[in-house]
């Protein structure tokens, strides 16, 4: 008779520390990374775009170091593959960003400030989850 009671107590104790969403939903204790997709449109010619640098209003997430408290990450750089660059912005959803397209030697090919429209691509509204935004930068 003790075994079922002990098992029930252990199962309930395991749920006691689970995080909950704003509506009381039990949420898994996980993290995720939101992503900004930068699409390069048109004929960029030479020099070709090699990377994009994204500077987020309010920061693009945080840099976590073992020897110090997390600090805001002002910008993120990502390589261009084909005509797209995927930029991770941690669990943040900045309202806007300055997107700079760079050649391999660091020459600025284009720079635009853009509002970001985030769309949930996983998880739930109650518990959160990964989101994605996309911007298009036209060739100069």
pLDDT one-digit tens code per residue, 82-127: 999 999 988 889 999 999 999 999 999 999 999 999 999 998 888 8
> Does residue 76 or residue 71 have the better pLDDT?
76
| Arithmetic mean of pLDDT, 5-24 | 47
- Return contacts of 71-77, CB within 8 angstroms, 24+ apart: 77/51, 77/52, 77/53, 77/102
What is the pTM assigned to this prediction? Answer: 0.75
Per-residue pLDDT tens digits for 25-71 = 788 777 888 999 999 999 999 999 999 999 987 788 777 667 777 77
- Per DSSP, the chain holds a count of helices (H) and strands (E) of 1, 10
Annotation: CATH topology of 30-138: Immunoglobulin-like (2.60.40)
């Amino acid at each position: 008779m003790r075994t079922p009671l002990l098992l029930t107590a252990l199962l309930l104790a395991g749920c006691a520390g689970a995080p909950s969403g704003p509506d009381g939903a039990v949420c898994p204790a996980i993290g995720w990374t939101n992503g900004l997709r930068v699409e390069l449109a048109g004929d960029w010619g030479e020099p070709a775009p090699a990377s994009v640098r994204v500077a987020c209003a309010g920061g693009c997430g945080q840099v976590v170091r073992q020897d110090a408290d997390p600090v805001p990450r002002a910008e993120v750089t990502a390589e261009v593959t084909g005509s797209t660059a995927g930029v991770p912005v941690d669990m943040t959803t900045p309202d806007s960003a300055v997107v700079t397209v760079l050649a391999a030697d660091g020459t600025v090919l284009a720079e635009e400030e853009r509002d970001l429209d985030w769309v949930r691509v996983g998880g739930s509204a109650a518990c959160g989850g990964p989101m994605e935004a996309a911007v298009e930068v036209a060739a100069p």
